[in-house]
Structure 1
Amino acid sequence: MDGLVAWWESLGAWQVPLRVLLIIVGAIVIRLILQFVINRAVRGIVTGVKKKQGIDDTQALVATPLAAVRVVQRTRTLGGVLSGVVTTAIVIVAVLLVISTTFPNAAGAFSLITAAIGAGLGFGAQNIVKDVLNGLFMVIEDQLGVGDVVDLGPATGVVESVGIRITDIRDVNGTLWHVRNGEIVRIGNISQGWARAIIDLAVPYESDIDEVEALILTTALELADEPKWKRLILEKPEVWGIESISAEAIVIRLVVKTRTSAKDDVARELRARLKRTLDTAGIRLPALNSIVLTGFEGAGSIRGARPPKTSPLPVVEQPRPARAPKTPKSPKGAS
């Protein structure tokens, strides 16, 4: 021990740079250790959920109970937020230690400067504190998670990341919105619980309403009974009746309660089948104004079409007809 002290005193002017180097290396090591612990905890929880559900791919959780999906999303989001908090805290502490080591006599003056800066930036820093606290509470209370389709007011789309200050939202057009957590005053989350596919079908005014409603309901029930769609539909489809009447058409509403991630897929398949059913019945749909997707309707389509997976059909290769052998050409000049 005495030899180590003597060696340290013999460094002389090199003591300060060495201390600064040790502080930087220590901060990096501590950050790596804490990051490893956070990543391991997140990985352990996610792997446990997957193993409990008997799956390997996170995307397969879409067809599992909602609680499993929310645990995975919430854990990953919390892991990202904690990583940001740990990094920020370690950097601040390391900077303060480096300053106090480099300028040991400036501790009192540094305290006064810190107090003056704190008083001057108090009103500006409150927005940063508001962003951080609001982001933490949003994640802790499970208001949103990575992968959720949400409407935050300023932007609507899929949550790509939740930071300590900023939440990134990707809308249906591919635009990435950076929304400050402190500016989020309400959250509409359509990835929690269940969703409802609503189809408003306009039929000619002179159509037999009872017949049309029976055709619509029969088509929807046939879809709900098929194995590859049954797991995505939570309740039997319902015809709610006439939604509106005009001089050209009568609008009939069909609703289907689905899993949150399957609303658009079910709605698209239903529209296609209803169109074929009405064509077969000789009911021609009237021409109406085009519909522009906005809000949740547009956000829900951001992932594109994701029809249920089915087993591949066997491919039977047809044998190729045998080619006739080529006749050798006779050399020129031969008789």
Structure 2
Amino acid sequence: MEQLLSDPPSCVQEAGTWCQQVWRMTGNEWLAGSATWLVAKPLRILLIVVVAILARYLVRKVIDRLTRTPENGSENKLPALLRPLRERAPEVLGPLIIERRRQRAKTIGSVLRSLTSLVVFGLASIMILGELGIDLAPILASAGIVGVAIGFGAQNLVRDFLSGIFMMLEDQYGVGDVVDLGEASGTVEAVGLRITTLRDVNGTVWYVRNGEVLRVGNSSQGYAIAVVDIPLNYNTDVNTATAVLEQVAAEAVARQSIAPDILDPPDVLGVENVTPEGMQLRLTVKVRPGRQWAVQRALRAEILPAFERAGFEPPLGRLYSPGPANSA
């Protein structure tokens, strides 16, 4: 007992220190001299961890609130995070525009949450190591070397993620857009940070890495042009055919089925192409994005029968018309 109640350590003379408090409570020289490691540093480390967890929780709650899609599902309301960003989503998407905005906000929010966790816990780890008296310079140097090695080995993965982030921020394309990504084309079904999912006209699903996309052709932004080429025989009177085409096109675009998709009156450009078989008249119409194919089909369905009624023959119509069967 006499050995435990030995002379007080020098740190006891420092007022307000843990050493002084522990000496008063225990009278133990070793406990008092080690009070900084046994009490002060664990408490400071615990405080750092608690503050880091609390800060991460609060920041993530703010991010979740900013990325939340309005409950009423209104197409005119954006998540708060997307309001400062440019949006190119076409109105023709209808209900799909909500899913497009939801996926975009969810992906950007996921990136922000990951960055928040990395920054907060990274700073907390550095502060904890500092409290333990560990020299951070060798650790940071080693971490830098390891990071370079990992980055070099996973450069394709890093490129995919960076491309996905910029694609999201710039809204180059989204759910419901009809795009051409070079190797694959079709309707976008899902957009992620690493992979974009397309479904082509044959129903095949394509998974395209964002880092491999060098160019994007988007047919669903701003407006589109419906192009209709009408094949004609060389004997056709071009002026008469042009007049019939203008009249039929004007009547067709006024129909209720495609009238809401038309932005400008149809424009007959005249003879577009001449081939050994015949020639082609071209008609163009400015339409809402994504509706060009439906308008083209509707116009063809009206124009071709009208040309037949007017007596215009298709190219080489007589040559390929069925004749009497050859006798054996």
Query: Do they fold alike, i.e. is TM over 0.5?
Result: yes
Deviation per CA, 1:197-222: give whole Å up to 9, x if none. 11111111111111111111111100
Work out which of the two has the higher radius of gyration on C-alpha atoms and give 1 or 2: 2
Equivalent runs, 1:1-335 vs 2, <5 Å: 33=61, 36-40=64-68, 42-43=69-70, 47=74, 49=76, 61-62=91-92, 75-86=101-112, 88-89=114-115, 114-286=143-315
Q: Which amino acid aligns with 2:65?
A: V
Partner Cα separation in structure 2 for residue 216 and residue 272 of structure 1: 13
Instruction: Look up the match of 1:294.
Output: none
Deviation string, structure 1 residues 281-335 (Cα, Å, up to 9, x no partner): 22232369xxxxxxxxxxxxxxxxxxxxxxxxxxxxxxxxxxxxxxxxxxxxxxx
Report the number of matched residues.
263
Q: Secondary structure at the match of 2:262?
A: coil
Is the 1:220–1:237 Cα contact (8 Å) retained in structure 2?
A: yes
Cα distance in structure 2, aligned partners of 1:27 and 1:286: 74
Partner deviation per Cα, 1:140-194 (whole Å, 9 max, x = no partner): 2232222111112122112222212222222222222222222222211111111
TM-score, normalization by structure 2: 0.63
Using CA pairs under 8 Å that are at least 6 residues apart, name the structure with larger relative contact order, 1 or 2. 1
What is the rounded CA distance, in whole Å, between the counterparts of 1:276 and 1:173 in structure 2?
A: 28
Q: Is the 8 A contact 2:108 2:168 kept in 1?
A: no
Return the offset for 1:267.
0.6
CA displacement 1:240-294 (0-9 Å, x = unmatched): 1111223431211111111112111111011111121122122232369xxxxxx
Q: SS where residue 172 of structure 1 aligns? A: coil
Q: Given that residues 63 and 232 in structure 1 are in contact (C-alpha distance below 8 angstroms), is that contact kept between their aligned partners in structure 2?
A: no
- The letter for the 1-side match of 2:307 is L
- In the aligned structure 1, how far is the partner of 2:135 from the partner of 2:110? 28
Point out where structure 1 has 5 or more consecutive residues left out of the alignment. 1-21, 52-58, 289-335
Aligned partners of 1:60 and 1:245: how far apart in 2?
A: 36
Contact 1:200 1:253 in 2 (8 A): yes
Letter aligned with residue 62 of structure 1: V
Counterpart code for 2:224: A
- The residue matched to 2:227 in structure 1 has which SS? strand
Q: Is residue 56–residue 120 contact of structure 2 (8 Å, CA) maintained in 1?
A: no
Q: Which amino acid aligns with 2:285?
A: V
Alpha-carbon shift at residue 195 of structure 1 (Å): 0.7
Moved more, 104-113 or 208-217: 104-113
Amino acid at match of 1:158: T
- Report the residue type matching 1:43 in the other structure: P
Distance 1:222 1:50 in 2: 37
**What is the CA-CA distance between 1:230 and the residue it aligns to?**
1.9
Give the 3-state SS of the residue equivalent to 1:160 in structure 2. strand
In the aligned structure 2, how far is the partner of 1:204 from the partner of 1:176?
A: 41
One-letter amino acid of the counterpart of residue 191, structure 1: S
RMSD (CA atoms) = 4.4
Q: Give distance in 1, aligned partners of 2:169 and 2:57.
A: 28
Structure 2 alignment gaps of length 5 or more? 1-49, 79-88, 318-328
For 2:279 and 2:253, how far apart are their aligned partners in 1?
Answer: 25
Give TM-score, length-normalised by structure 1. Answer: 0.62
